[in-house]
Chain A
């Protein structure tokens, strides 16, 4: 598929509808990534379909987080880091787009929950205020907290510090915060690695519901999680995307030997 010849997608409605069929929500072609002189990603090409969960798996240091951070240009905080290649959101080139507009459309939750030292309400409202979305803040905050399945637990303490919450609640708060600006894509960088199994299960449940209104890309160290949660899985190794396919196929009948070795635990 040649990205430059496909027709422009309809602008996606807020956080919802997929672009015209045939164009993936996110598209990467031959992405190279450098930390200074060191090449961290080699020619990665991947389609991320809309309203599906794509999981990126692979051993430590394989480049999956680096690739994820290319999708919302978070690498720009690192000096001497640069991405080359073609990365498109609904057909628009990400690398030349206005970065704050990009990040409003492509949200992110991080490995360790990172709520701001503000109240729960102010945490969720932050994205709205910063992007000049002054509507009914109270309603928007409640809607996001409901979407992240944490409203019932915090509705009576919105003015309290976000740090008073448990780890799992904080992570759902961070997801709610990311959702508040209605992103079209949500990037999750090992969101459950710091959480206990119950909190992890709650987050996985909420991802199933979320994908109807959002496209999700999740990096995970936990293969079982990838198998449970995702529609499509990509396997990274040493900076290369070795294989990407339906999750069932990857885990039952991987095409590449390296994939099979990783999945069966021959290396980790």
Chain B
């Protein structure tokens, strides 16, 4: 074997090892975090955690029921405001947008995506919290909704564009108008991808803490309606982790575990949905 061959083989091995190690590191970090959470928080995951309100300081046996429900409420509000906006915007971009307008909207959406979440929080603070003189679920939901919109919009546009032109032509050739074609053929065809985009965006904003610090605030009790401060998992983690109480620390770990589990379930679920979709449309 010449020097050339030896060199090539060595480079091969080195690169293979480097890329392999990098992958292992990435995957390893995830498992490390998961392991840590399970180890420290696993023991605090019990019925109380899911059903009881936080106990007074120093007492044990409290839970995070209000934070779990609070996160749910915030996500719901964010979804109700953010998903239709992103969805319809994405449909418009994919089907009706002109060159320049589409480019501008896409660019703006990407910029919005890149805005730090704490800035989103300040925005919602100025626009909703200040006039109301206190934090609220509405303010928190709004901040999360604004973060949701660009993700849903881009995902919708991407999956709408992925629908083949031949399907649109088939519908048009039958006498369907453009909007009917979009509504009855293109959107249903791209729906699986769009649904996964929506799910992933929800998973992403579920864990956002910074905006909620300014807006939803926190609440040791149940929040009624939408105009009161409301507890949420990320903010609880923040508050409890910084506290001096051992019991609260353990609960913060547990909350972290619950959040991560939520993200993992949603992410895995959406991948499954997406792969199912492709299978049924490729079996030709």
Is there an interface contact between B167 and A104, defined as CB atoms closer than 8 Å?
A: no
Interface centre among B166, B171, B174, B177 (most CB of A within 10 A): B174
Residues of A within 8 A of B184 (CB): 126, 130
Instruction: Determine how close the nearest CB of chain A comes to the CB of B163; give it in whole angstroms.
Output: 9
Closest CB-CB distance, B282 to chain A, in whole Å? Answer: 8
Question: In the complex, which residues of chain B have a beta carbon less than 8 angstroms from the beta carbon of A208?
Answer: none
User: Would you give the shortest CB distance from A72 to chain B, in whole angstroms?
Assistant: 7
Shortest beta-carbon distance from A101 to chain B in Å: 7
Check A178 against B176 for contact (C-beta < 8 Å): no
Number of interface residues of B (CB under 8 A): 24
Asked if B284 and A104 sit within 8 Å, CB to CB, the answer is no
| Distance in Å: Cβ of B44 to nearest Cβ of chain A | 46
* Chain A interface size, under 10 / 10 to 19 / 20 to 34 / 35 or more: 20 to 34
Pick from A107, A116, A130, A167: contact of B284, CB below 8 A: A167
Q: Does A6 contact B (CB under 8 A)?
A: no
A176 to B173, CA, bound (A): 13
Contact flags A131-142 to B (C-beta < 8 A → 1, else 0) = 100000000000
Q: Is the CB of B174 within 8 A of A104?
A: yes
Q: Which of A77, A104, A114, A116 has a CB less than 8 Å from the CB of B175?
A: A104
A25 at the interface (CB under 8 A from B): no
Determine which of B166, B174, B180, B189 lies in contact with A181 in the assembled complex, contact meaning CB atoms within 8 Å: B174
In Å, the complex CA distance between A160 and B172 comes to 23
Given contacts A130-B180, A130-B184, contact A74 B167 (CB under 8 A): no
Q: Are B174 and A101 in contact (CB under 8 A)?
A: no
Closest to A162 in B: B284
Q: Are B177 and A100 in contact (CB under 8 A)?
A: yes
A76 (CB) vs chain B CBs: closest residue: B172
Q: Hey, which chain A residues are within 8 Å of B180, CB to CB? A: 130
**Do most interface residues of chain B lie in helix, strand or loop, or is the interface mixed?**
helix
**Is A112 positioned at the interface, with any CB of B under 8 Å from its CB?**
yes
**Contacting residues of chain B (263-281) with chain A, CB-CB under 8 angstroms:** 280-281
Q: In the complex, which residue of chain B has the Cβ closest to the Cβ of A104?
A: B175
Contacts of B284 in A (CB 8 A): 163, 167, 170
CA distance A127 to B171 in the complex (A): 8
Q: Which residues of B contact A174 (CB under 8 A)?
A: 170
Do residues A108 and B171 form an inter-chain contact, with CB atoms below 8 A? no
A77 and B169 contact, CB distance less than 8 A:
yes
Task: Say how far B127's CB is from chain A's closest CB, in angstroms.
Answer: 40
Q: Within the complex, what minimum Cβ distance (angstroms) separates B194 from chain A?
A: 14
Q: Are B175 and A103 in contact (CB under 8 A)?
A: yes
**A127 in contact with B166 (CB, 8 Å):** no
Interface 1/0 per residue, A118-134 and B, CB below 8 Å: 10000000110011000
Asked whether A130 lies within 8 Å of B281 as measured between CB atoms, the reply is: no
B168 interfacial contact with A, CB 8 Å:
yes
Q: A112-B166, A114-B170 are in contact. Are A131 and B283 (CB under 8 A)?
A: no
Question: Distance (Å) between the CB of B277 and the closest chain A CB?
Answer: 9
List the B residue with the shortest CB-CB distance to A112: B166
Q: Are A127 and B280 in contact (CB under 8 A)?
A: no
CB distance from A202 to the nearest CB of B (A): 18
- Which of these, A72, A117, A167, contacts B173 with CB under 8 Å? A72
Kindly provide the distance from the CB of B275 to the nearest chain A CB, expressed in whole angstroms.
Answer: 15
The answer to whether residues A178 and B174 also contact, given A116-B185, A117-B189, A163-B284 and a CB cut-off of 8 A, is: yes
Q: Residues of B with Cβ closer than 8 Å to A?
A: 164-177, 180, 184-185, 188-189, 280-284
Q: Give the B-binding residues of A (Cβ under 8 A).
A: 72, 74, 77, 100-101, 103-104, 107-108, 110, 112, 114-118, 126-127, 130-131, 161, 163-164, 167, 170, 174, 177-178, 181
